[in-house]
Structure 1
Amino acid sequence: MSDWVITSKGFIPIPYLITEPALGGIGGALVPVFIKPNSPYLDSIDGKLVKSRAKPNFLAVGAGYTANGTWFVGGGTAGTIKKWRANYRLFGGYADVNMNFYRTFQNGTEGSFEFNIKTVPIYGQFTKQIGLSAWSLGLDYLFLNTTLANSNPLFNTPKEVNSIVSKLGLVFDYDKRDNVFTPDKGFRWKTSFAGSDDIIGSDYDFTTLTTSAFYYVPVSKQLTAGFRAEYQQIWGSPPFYMKPFISMRGIPVMRYQGSNTVLSETEWRWDFSYRHSLVGFGGAAKAIADGDSFQDSSWRVSGGAGYRYLLARKLKLRAGIDIARGPEDWAYYIVFGANWVK
């Protein structure tokens, strides 16, 4: 697989199984992924020639359909412009999504509301390496043209039926991982501070802060530990589908939303043979609603185990399956590369 991708300009034809509980628990997508590795940067530091990693280039297109009638088409690219020491991402598509959202009322009861959301998302990011350091600085931009095919006055506002989100942000990124697919060691910290305003064509005024940290450490030759911490906060008046939510295996997407979220998770991988590995993971998170304190909010705990296969050894790309248990139910996930992708 490595030689096919690297030397033959091939692609990895991923017949992807969609297992997200919020989208019906089962579905499929076909996503051919083209990967072009970049040679490392060569720098002279104190008279010595030093190599540093340059992220590979990706190109992917695909379409998918799930058991609850959700479908999507889209594509994107990401990679490195070596002469600028810069990285970029650009994605776009169309999605017709059926999903439940939840709200707790003043009497303490919780209501579930099903929505059909039709949206055209476009996302772009450009970051520039600062000198020869592991730091990068840049901008990102999100555009969403969204329509609710059904609405509920107990949950959404009239403006949310048909609206545009336009959000521009500042991105700080520190990345010392040894590879972008399945890291064995290294640290990454990424922070984005963004705003949505009518000045840039948005129907909403709100500000977001997202900061994530990932740390990988080899405990032994066969055992690798990973740690993740994340914080999100939103100010202003966003549409309900833009509020922060807990993103962990075992918990459906958008199940727990709030004005801010905190999360910590760990994953341990045991390479019991050259190509075969077992993983175990677990974590806890809070979604803090408007008006609630940190102490008033409940911890949501999930965990599970999985299997990995070294699909392309020259790319250090592992793929496999995870089974997880959240607060309400079991779920399973097909994993391509690192589960913690940001």
Structure 2
Amino acid sequence: MKKTTLYILLIFFSFTALAQRKDENNLVKIDTISTTKNYQLIAIPIAFYTPETGFGFGGGGQLFFLNKKNTFKNRLSNVLFSGIYTLNKQIMFEITPQIYFGSGNYFIDAHYLLEVYPNLFWGIGNNTSDENEEVYNQTTHALNISFLKRLPPDLNFGFQFIFKNHEVTEIAEGGILDTQNVIGSKRTVVAGLGAVFNYDTRDNTGSPNKGFYYQAKAQFSSELFGATSGFNKFILDLREYQPISSRSLLAFQLYIENNYGDVPFQALASYGGGNRARGYFFGRFLDKQMYVSQIEYRWRFKPRWTINAYGLFGEVAEKPEDFFSINNLKPSFGFGTRYKIFKDKDTWLRFDIGSGIDGNSGIYFGINEAF
């Protein structure tokens, strides 16, 4: 459970799902359970392994609404759902509806999560010691609903409702969560409203080859909505994809998160993970402020194979003015490969290796690009 995260996720599905498909090399088979002129239901097998969970397995499906389509981006309305059980007796259940109205002029994006899951905690700050590591158990119910309006040609603006209930069911006796009055160490409710603005010119979302993605979020958790404490969260996510040749590109991301108020530790900015800071355990460093900057080179040396190399740096801090001390930077670098599951669909298997400082490292196996 220390430093290396092996995350093997085998989840296969077709995003357009207009007919049952089979990879010509017999690597993947998609099972269509039911189809009518209005919808199609596809089965999804799931299997993965991590040091925290042991072997996990489950399944789910994706229901496509064939008559509710975003005609501007050529995307179908769908509901993705999954249930997972691990040999460490952990349970995860998710439902993710994405529904378009008015040919894509309006969009509902929602997510529900039930999670019974142990996690690791090292304390709060940018320089917490490895020796602080402690395990805690937590049960989470989370619901996020966004309603967005398309502002032609590539802008979207909308509002969010956020609700998260974190029940901490077990902590280490004498540990930081037990002795230092950390906000959220017993129970946390995050509840409130938010606003979302994004500009999206990517040619596809799973593995973009060109374009921009700029998103700004403002979220406000308030006791008026039932939250256990009030705080504000602001997120800026800037991504750019610049082709170098017909087979290669450079991808850039700058991610900034700012939190103000009485922020429970579950809602603090979390450094690490398989997307924003590969090479560090997700949540290895927690605090109110965070930035991550990363650059990645991607070379498609065959139509269905890509290799990549990336570098990144970032940090967390209590206040923005504490950033940019050379001794506080948390750099990482790594490389990986991708394989395109379907010839005519942009769904990719991703394998990455990341190496940070002070012995931090990670191995990641999942679906589509990190950003």
Give the TM-score range, shorter chain: 0.7 to 0.9
**Structure 1 residue ranges without an equivalent (≥5):** 42-51
- In the alignment, is residue 245 of structure 1 matched against residue 262 of structure 2? no
Q: 1:283 to 1:70 in 2, by over 3 A?
A: farther
| Equivalent residue runs for 1:114-133 within 5 Å | 114-130=135-151, 132-133=152-153
Aligned to 2:42: 11
Secondary structure in structure 2 of the residue aligned to 1:183: coil
Aligned to 1:176: 201
- Following superposition, the deviation at residue 287 of structure 1 comes to 0.8
Q: Deviations over 1:227-284 (max 9, x none)?
A: 1111001000021111011242221111111110011112222111111121222211
Aligned to 2:285: 256
Q: Which residue, out of 284, 294, 298, partners 1:269?
A: 298
Secondary structure in structure 1 of the residue aligned to 2:344: helix
**Structure 2 residue ranges without an equivalent (≥5):** 1-12, 21-39, 172-176
- Following superposition, the deviation at residue 4 of structure 1 comes to 8.5
Whole-Å separation in 1 of the counterparts to 2:74 and 2:279? 33
Aligned to 2:91: 71
Preserved contact between residue 69 and residue 100 of structure 2 (Cα < 8 Å): no
- In the alignment, is residue 333 of structure 1 matched against residue 364 of structure 2? yes
Secondary structure in structure 1 of the residue aligned to 2:365: strand
Whole-Å separation in 2 of the counterparts to 1:4 and 1:39? 10
Identity within the alignment, %: 19
Secondary structure in structure 2 of the residue aligned to 1:202: coil
Secondary structure in structure 1 of the residue aligned to 2:133: strand
Preserved contact between residue 112 and residue 143 of structure 2 (Cα < 8 Å): yes
Preserved contact between residue 156 and residue 240 of structure 1 (Cα < 8 Å): no
Question: Which of 1 and 2 has higher RCO (CA within 8 Å, sep 6+)?
Answer: 2
- Following superposition, the deviation at residue 114 of structure 1 comes to 1.8
Whole-Å separation in 2 of the counterparts to 1:140 and 1:158? 24
Q: Which residue, out of 132, 137, 140, partners 2:160?
A: 140
Aligned to 1:101: 121
Aligned to 2:34: none
Q: Which residue, out of 181, 193, 203, partners 2:228?
A: 203
Aligned to 1:30: 59
Aligned to 1:162: 187
| Equivalent residue runs for 1:274-289 within 5 Å | 274-289=303-318
Aligned to 2:346: 316
- Following superposition, the deviation at residue 286 of structure 1 comes to 0.8
* Number of equivalent positions: 326
- Following superposition, the deviation at residue 118 of structure 1 comes to 0.8
Aligned to 1:225: 250
- TM-score, normalised to structure 1, is 0.85
Secondary structure in structure 2 of the residue aligned to 1:133: coil
Letter aligned with residue 126 of structure 1: F
Preserved contact between residue 107 and residue 149 of structure 2 (Cα < 8 Å): yes
Q: 1:222 to 1:35 in 2, by over 3 A?
A: farther
Whole-Å separation in 2 of the counterparts to 1:291 and 1:4? 43
Letter aligned with residue 44 of structure 2: P
Letter aligned with residue 178 of structure 1: D
RMSD, aligned CA: 2.8
Whole-Å separation in 1 of the counterparts to 2:241 and 2:205? 12
Q: 1:259 to 1:206 in 2, by over 3 A?
A: same
Preserved contact between residue 70 and residue 100 of structure 2 (Cα < 8 Å): no
Of residues 143-152 and 61-70 in structure 1, the stretch that sits farther from structure 2 once superposed is 61-70
Aligned to 1:304: 334
Letter aligned with residue 206 of structure 2: F
Aligned to 2:261: 236
Secondary structure in structure 2 of the residue aligned to 1:308: strand
Whole-Å separation in 1 of the counterparts to 2:320 and 2:250? 37
Q: Which residue, out of 117, 132, 146, partners 1:111?
A: 132
Preserved contact between residue 271 and residue 277 of structure 1 (Cα < 8 Å): yes
Q: 1:53 to 1:100 in 2, by over 3 A?
A: same
Q: 1:334 to 1:34 in 2, by over 3 A?
A: farther
Of residues 229-238 and 26-35 in structure 1, the stretch that sits farther from structure 2 once superposed is 26-35
Q: 1:165 to 1:104 in 2, by over 3 A?
A: closer
- Following superposition, the deviation at residue 36 of structure 1 comes to 6.3
- Following superposition, the deviation at residue 84 of structure 1 comes to 5.6
